[in-house]
């Protein structure tokens, strides 16, 4: 579940069902939007299931983490680019460009003969995904009246539920019966129908307000952040003295640019908005870092099929929705910060329990049970973070602060998945063996390589539990008002 979904407002009922989001006027566009989001969600779920088989087939276990982080790295830049592009020329061109890039990336990944080609395909997918998600939100703002926007936004989250349930099963079956490549190659064809359905409505969109020139500064900052993150990931996978050069270049790009994209005090966990933004990155990164390696661990260490390994994550997707519902209850409002602290504690516990599954004396079904806890914790934390962000934003700064939240989500995923890859390789994962090939690559992933990944993810989740104690801003001396630092301040 992405960050953009979690900032969606609560759905509201309309008085005229015929003119609702599924009424005659909006039905085609609504169904098209839901279909596109569902396919992206299905792809995200399916890739996690098929990835262990793909990495072993391409003899690329050592680059396993890159296959995930490449998507997040390029989408980080594409989200900023899409926002500027949509403001200048409307959402139609960015949306279709993004879908084309997403499909192209799937084809590259599905036809890859080497792991580096697979990683490149995932990067192209990330560009498409970043362009699409922002353009879809602009479409909602221009095509629907204000009273219907909350309902459309709520449908974004609902569109993830079915793919989370059926995605692992379908992807695992296709992988085992037809091969992992068809998990990637079949999806571009499925995108054509929703595009055809929504195209007439998209062409009829009213023009937006006159916009100035694109903010090239923010685009360049986002590009520098993505490049810096990519260099750090490359250096982390190399682990030689020469890797210090790209590592230094990556830090030189990443640190100052991120400080200008996020609220002041973010990395010092300053109370209030900065801690909300920081917590979202920690939560997203720790969860995704662990989740990325779970199917690989279950396939190589516990001998599960790709279908069963992917299916073990399904419960987490369902309880994520349940946790989001729990925090939305009116009676939970006074305890929101405590719920987020509890949520991060549950994530840490779930990851620690997942490490225990490495022991063959622990029943393998414990993997699915532990991820049920982790998903519920994420539902409490991610959705509550969006609510607090809007509550703490000054009027007119909601968009900028929401962009900071998305940046933190993507950056947390990039850095912590990259760190997981470094630890995995450092402890012997993907080192190869005599004769090379997929079997040797699988044997070269010892249990302690997975244990190192899960230990780091659990530790960061515990850090997130501490940050969750700093979400309430301090009151200004004797006046009962709060101070909210602006986004984009260099003092992050």
Two tokens, residue 81? 């680019």
* pLDDT exceeds 80 at position 467: yes
* pLDDT exceeds 70 at position 85: yes
Q: pLDDT confidence of 341, banded at 50, 70, 90?
A: very high
Where is pLDDT greater, at 144 or 207?
144
* pLDDT exceeds 60 at position 5: no
pLDDT, tens digit (0-9, with 9 covering 90-100), for 158-180: 677 777 777 777 777 787 788 88
pLDDT, tens digit (0-9, with 9 covering 90-100), for 262-291: 888 888 888 888 999 999 999 989 998 998
Average pLDDT, the chain: 77
Reduce the secondary structure of 114-158 to three states and give it as a string: CHHHHHHHHHHHHHHHHHHHHHHHHHHHHHCCHHHHHHHHHHHHH
Give pLDDT, residue 478: 39
Q: Per mean pLDDT, which range of 198-207, 279-288, 307-316 is the poorest?
A: 198-207
* pLDDT exceeds 70 at position 124: yes
Q: Is 271 left (phi over 0), alpha (psi -120 to 50) or beta?
A: beta
Q: Per mean pLDDT, which range of 7-21, 77-91, 373-387, 395-409 is the poorest?
A: 7-21
Q: Report which listed range, 102-111, 131-140, 458-467, is most confident.
A: 458-467
Q: How many whole angstroms separate alpha carbon 44 and alpha carbon 162?
A: 12
Q: How many whole angstroms separate alpha carbon 467 and alpha carbon 170?
A: 38
pLDDT, tens digit (0-9, with 9 covering 90-100), for 362-376: 888 888 899 999 999
Two tokens, residue 364? 């393998």
SS3 345: helix
């Amino acid at each position: 579940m992405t960050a953009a979904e979690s900032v969606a407002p609560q759905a509201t009922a309309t008085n005229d069902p015929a003119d609702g989001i599924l009424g005659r006027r909006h039905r085609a566009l609504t169904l098209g939007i839901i279909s596109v989001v569902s396919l992206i969600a299905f792809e995200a779920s399916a890739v996690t299931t098929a990835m262990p088989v793909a990495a072993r087939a391409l003899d690329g276990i050592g680059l396993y983490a890159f296959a995930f982080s490449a998507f997040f790295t390029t989408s980080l830049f594409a989200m900023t680019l899409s926002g500027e592009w949509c403001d200048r020329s409307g959402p139609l061109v960015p949306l279709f460009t993004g879908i084309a890039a997403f499909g192209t990336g799937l084809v590259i990944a599905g036809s890859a003969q080497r792991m580096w080609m697979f990683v490149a395909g995932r990067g192209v997918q990330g560009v498409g995904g970043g362009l699409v998600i922002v353009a879809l939100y602009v479409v909602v703002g221009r095509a629907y009246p204000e009273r219907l926007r909350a309902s459309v936004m709520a449908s974004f989250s609902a569109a993830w539920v079915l793919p989370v349930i059926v995605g692992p099963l379908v992807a695992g079956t296709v992988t085992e019966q037809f091969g992992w490549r068809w998990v990637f190659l079949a999806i571009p064809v499925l995108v054509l129908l929703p595009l055809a359905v929504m195209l007439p409505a998209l062409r009829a969109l009213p023009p937006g307000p006159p916009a100035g020139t694109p903010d090239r500064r923010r685009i360049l900052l986002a590009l520098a952040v993505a490049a810096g993150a990519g260099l750090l990931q490359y250096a982390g996978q190399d682990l030689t003295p020469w890797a210090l050069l790209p590592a230094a270049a990556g830090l030189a790009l990443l640190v100052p640019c991120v400080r200008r994209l996020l609220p002041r005090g973010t990395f010092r966990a300053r109370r209030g908005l900065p801690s909300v933004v920081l917590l979202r990155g920690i939560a997203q990164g720790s969860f995704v870092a662990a989740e990325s390696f779970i199917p690989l661990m279950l396939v190589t260490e516990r001998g599960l099929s790709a279908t069963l390994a992917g299916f073990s994550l399904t419960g987490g997707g369902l309880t994520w929705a349940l946790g989001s519902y729990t925090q939305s209850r009116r009676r939970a409002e006074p305890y929101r910060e405590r719920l987020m602290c509890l949520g991060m504690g549950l994530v840490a516990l779930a990851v620690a329990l997942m490490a225990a599954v490495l022991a063959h004396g622990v029943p393998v079904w414990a993997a699915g049970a532990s991820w049920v806890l982790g998903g519920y914790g994420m539902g409490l934390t991610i959705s509550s973070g969006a609510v607090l962000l809007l509550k703490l934003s000054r009027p007119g700064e909601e968009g900028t602060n929401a962009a900071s939240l998305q940046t933190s989500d993507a950056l947390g995923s990039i850095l912590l998945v990259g760190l997981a890859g470094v630890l995995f390789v450092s402890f012997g994962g993907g080192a190869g063996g005599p004769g090379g090939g997929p079997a040797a690559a699988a044997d070269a992933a010892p249990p302690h390589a997975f244990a190192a990944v899960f230990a780091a993810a659990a530790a960061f989740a515990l850090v997130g539990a501490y940050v969750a104690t700093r979400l309430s801003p301090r009151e200004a001396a004797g006046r009962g008002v709060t101070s909210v630092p602006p986004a984009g301040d260099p003092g992050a």
